[in-house]
Amino acid sequence: MAVSLRAIRPRVFRVIIPTRVDIEARAGMREYLDEVKKIMQDNYETARSSPGYTRTNRMRKGWKVRVPSNNFGDLINDVRYTSLVQGPNRNTTTGRVTQQARFRERGWLSISDVARDTKHRYERIMNRRIKSTLERR
């Protein structure tokens, strides 16, 4: 009985460059947070305002994206009443102020709802960004 041995080599070898992964992860985080920011800003135009209130656009313009590292980012709105209008919709253990029901009834989106509804976009963006770092050799 004859035995033959043959080495199997992969046709394509891919190298991961850590600095490129870091850059792409940070860019992916910013891309996702910019999408969420746009949703929150667009909601400002579609939600009904309270009777007798004149909009100032401060809350719409107040959304800021900050990505200090490749593994987290912040979407912040420093306008003092934002947490009442578009804040988290569930009581948190930290005692933070949450979205009031009257704003939810008027069509204001909660940041919690937007984060939950766009979770799949985050995964898709990050997967695309990380895959783009694989270099063919």
- Of the pLDDT bands very low, low, confident and very high (cuts 50, 70, 90), residue 3 is confident
Q: How far apart (Å, rounded) are the C-alpha atoms in residues 28 and 54?
A: 36
Range picked from 16-20, 30-34, 67-71, 82-86 for highest mean pLDDT: 30-34
Considering only residues 44 and 94, tell me which one the structure prediction assigns the higher pLDDT: 44
What does the pLDDT read at residue 118? 95
pLDDT of residue 1 exceeding 70, the answer is no
Q: Mean pLDDT score of the chain, rounded to an integer?
A: 86
Exposed/middle/buried for residue 7 (C-beta within 10 Å: 0-12, 13-18, 19+): exposed
Each domain of the chain, given as residue ranges in start order, spans 14-48+58-136
Amino acid letter, residue 96: R
Q: What does the pLDDT look like over 106-127, one tens digit per residue?
A: 999 999 999 999 999 999 999 9
